[in-house]
Amino acid sequence: MPEACPRARQAPPKGPNTDEGVDHAQRRTALSRAADLDPFLKRIRRIKLAALGAMTLLVECLAELPRHLDHLATLRPRVERAALERDLSQHNDGLFSLLMVAQLVVEVARELSVKRGDRFEDDTEAVRNLARDPRLPPAIVTELERLPGLRNVVHE
């Protein structure tokens, strides 16, 4: 099968009819332009990867949150103080899910704050920044403000 462009694989001609100086200058210009573009392309790549990473964390947190909330809902009918004191497994199971819900809410609040450019000095402030989202009722944000503290208590 003949190639579409047989000259594409051939080396450039050399000899008395070619100007090697011009060829070298063109090659040098192309390399110079590539070197000028390289820092820009690297910066764009870093920005895109950072954006992708942030979105991935947000999506992962939002996907994981319902799983732990559903698990807590199944534990709720069985949870009594006496049962938790007797059954260490159930006690740890409930504490772990509470810790995960608190941590995931904080992570979501942090990521959304960063994406919007909101400043925050601690996790509680990041959760308070959720009030800037018109889709979240202020009463829910007020309830969520307690989660960073709960997370710290459960973690200890």
Q: What is the pLDDT of residues 22-60, one digit of tens each?
A: 666 777 777 777 677 778 778 877 877 777 666 678 888
Supply the DSSP string of the chain, one letter for each residue: ---S-GGGGSPPP-STTS-HHHHHHHHHHHHHHHHHHHHHHHHHHHHHHHHHHHHHHHHHHHHHHHHHHHHHHHHGGG--HHHHHH-HHHHHHHHHHHHHHHHHHHHHHHHHHHHHT---SSHHHHHHGGGGSTTS-HHHHHHHTTHHHHHHHHH-
What does the domain layout of the chain look like in residue ranges?
Answer: 54-155
Q: What is the pLDDT of residues 83-123, one digit of tens each?
A: 777 888 887 888 888 899 999 999 999 999 998 999 999 99
pTM exceeds 0.85 for this model: no
